[in-house]
Structure 1
Amino acid sequence: MGPLLKISRLIDAISNLVGRTLIWLVLAATLISAGNAIVRKTLNIGSNAMLEIQWYLYAAVFMLGGGYALLKNTHVRIDVLSNKFSARTRAWVDIGGIVIFLLPMCYLLSVFAWPIVMSAIKTGEVSSNAGGLIRWPLYALVPAGFGLLALQGLSELIKRIAFLRGAGPDPMALPHDPHADSGAAPDAPAAKAGQ
């Protein structure tokens, strides 16, 4: 499990770096939006490119931030059910969700999006708005975002398998969980062996 956990930590570091970088895109989009509004209201000058870059930046945040959301466990989860499961059952449910739903979905969406990206590059597709931006960078966010999400899904899969094998802590342990400090959940084999 050691080499796989190293890969998992590397993927986590990449997701963390991407997530922290995306914060700056929110700031950039906000400043562009404010500047665009000020120029439009005071000088009566507008720019479709400046309007489009705002939603390109927001699209980048949402598309590229999925892996970071999964890493930080801020994604949508049915907590009413999940909180009733033991840590081991929750790990098994997560493994099933990752293998059956998350990874295939990421693969399919990336495969279906890629021809659209390539077509937009070949044709030089541009926004239909006057002065609009090229489209392929926006389209490329789909396979890039789902690629990052798939990588983080792989990392989460490794962590849950390590937990079930007693080679790692419960990845879902909350900071206030008394077992989170010990590195193992109460029903992990390592915790039982120490009792």
Structure 2
Amino acid sequence: MNALLKLAESMRRALEVVALASGWLLVIMACVTTFDVVARKFGLQLPYTKLQELEWHFHAAIFSLWMGYCYTINAHPRVDTFTEMMSYRRRAWIELAGCLALALPYSALVAYYSLDFVAQSYRLGEQSDSTVGLTHRWIIKGVYAAGLWMVVLGVLSVLLRVIVFLFGEKSEREVNLQIGHVITDV
């Protein structure tokens, strides 16, 4: 069980490194957005559509590169009103079922087919008219595909923690399992 926990933690740490490093894209996106807004206010004649496309590229990259890590720290959208009165063990069983029946199959399938999505874009030489943003569409599609594979890693990391919690007789704090609420005093 300790090996599973170490593997889960390795996955979470790798996702954290990618997420925190890609967080710097927020600074760049904020600069581009600020420039776009200020230029409009001063009436400068610029290719605003191209600037907005660049902003969307940054937004897509940030979102994609944070998805997997967010799942591991319980910072993803979830409706907990149904489970808030349940015991933590019961929530873990629901998380296990959800990961195995829904999250893992879906995210793995979408991630698998995303590779073909990127490859087709590359083969077609799909391009954007924007010279400000990324001219080759396969790059941003590749970042999104990488983000989908990171979601798979995030789900696997949580799944391993749930398994160790349920079958390894360890506490939620020992496995750093954050489901249904956020542990704030670790």
Question: Which is further off, 18-27 or 156-165?
Answer: 18-27
Change (3 A) 1:155 1:127: same
> Where do residues 173-184 of structure 1 align in structure 2 (5 Å cutoff)?
174-175=182-183
Q: CA deviation at 1:72?
A: 1.5
For residues 174 and 115 of structure 1, what CA distance do their matches in structure 2 show? Answer: 36
Question: Which is further off, 59-68 or 47-56?
Answer: 47-56
For residues 82 and 101 of structure 1, what CA distance do their matches in structure 2 show? Answer: 17
> Where do residues 128-167 of structure 1 align in structure 2 (5 Å cutoff)?
128=129, 133-167=135-169
Q: CA deviation at 1:104?
A: 0.8
Other-structure match for 1:72? 73
Q: CA deviation at 1:82?
A: 1.6
> Where do residues 73-152 of structure 1 align in structure 2 (5 Å cutoff)?
73-128=74-129, 133-152=135-154
Change (3 A) 1:78 1:51: closer
C-alpha contact (below 8 Å) 2:61/2:144 kept by paired residues? no
For residues 6 and 97 of structure 2, what CA distance do their matches in structure 1 show? Answer: 22
Other-structure match for 1:60? 61
Q: Which consecutive unaligned segments of at least 5 residues does structure 1 have?
A: 182-195
C-alpha contact (below 8 Å) 2:57/2:140 kept by paired residues? yes
Q: CA deviation at 1:174?
A: 4.4
Q: Please state whether the residue corresponding to 2:82 is helix, strand or coil.
A: helix
| Paired residue type of 2:32 | I
For residues 148 and 107 of structure 2, what CA distance do their matches in structure 1 show? Answer: 5
For residues 78 and 161 of structure 1, what CA distance do their matches in structure 2 show? Answer: 22
Q: TM-score, normalised by structure 2?
A: 0.84
Q: CA deviation at 1:35?
A: 1.9
Higher relative contact order (CA 8 A, sep 6+): 2
RMSD: 2.3
Identity of aligned residues (%): 26
Which structure has the bigger radius of gyration?
1
C-alpha contact (below 8 Å) 1:110/1:147 kept by paired residues? yes
Question: In the TM superposition, what whole-angstrom CA distance separates every residue of 1:9-28 from its partner, at most 9, and x where no partner exists?
Answer: 11110121122123211111
For residues 157 and 20 of structure 2, what CA distance do their matches in structure 1 show? Answer: 18
C-alpha contact (below 8 Å) 1:65/1:145 kept by paired residues? yes
Q: CA deviation at 1:109?
A: 0.9
Question: Are residues 1:34 and 2:34 paired?
Answer: yes
For residues 114 and 123 of structure 1, what CA distance do their matches in structure 2 show? Answer: 14
Other-structure match for 1:15? 15
C-alpha contact (below 8 Å) 2:126/2:136 kept by paired residues? yes
Q: CA deviation at 1:42?
A: 5.1
